[in-house]
């Protein structure tokens, strides 16, 4: 519910702070990542998706960075976190 409120208010700073408080693997991270990518906040979206730590999630959402022409940022994060570059 709080995710939806921050999104509706366009309070992306608070949404990011909420993301930071969630444990790795929390399913809310998927929703937060989707919210960030829907407004073009690629870096924040990638951070949320990577925090989920589900390979399928990471691969499916790789299009986030490709879509907004941020492939170098995605590739760097993938390498830094030890995930295979697609």
Note the pLDDT tens digit of each residue in 5-40. Answer: 999 999 999 999 999 999 988 989 989 988 998 898
According to the model, what pLDDT value does residue 45 have? 84
pLDDT tens digits for 50-63?
888 765 455 556 65
List Cα–Cα distances, 83 to 7, 14, 21, 41, 43, in angstroms.
Answer: 29, 28, 23, 21, 16
What global pTM score does this model have?
A: 0.68
State yes or no: pLDDT of 3 exceeds 90: yes
| Cα gap 35→57, rounded to integer Å | 15
- Four-residue CA torsion sign, 54, 64, 37, 14: positive
Here the tokens at position 73 are 């940022």
* DSSP result, 7-53: HHTT-HHHHHHHHHHSPTT-THHHHHHHHHHHTT-HHHHHHHHHHH-
């Amino acid at each position: 519910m709080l995710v939806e409120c921050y999104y509706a208010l366009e309070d992306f700073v608070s949404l990011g702070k909420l993301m930071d408080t969630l444990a790795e693997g929390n399913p809310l991270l998927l929703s937060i990542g989707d919210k960030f990518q829907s407004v073009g906040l690629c870096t924040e979206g990638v951070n949320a998706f990577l925090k989920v730590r589900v390979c399928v999630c990471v691969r499916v959402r790789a299009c986030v960075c490709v879509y907004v022409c941020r492939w170098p940022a995605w590739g760097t994060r993938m390498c830094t976190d030890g995930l295979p570059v697609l």
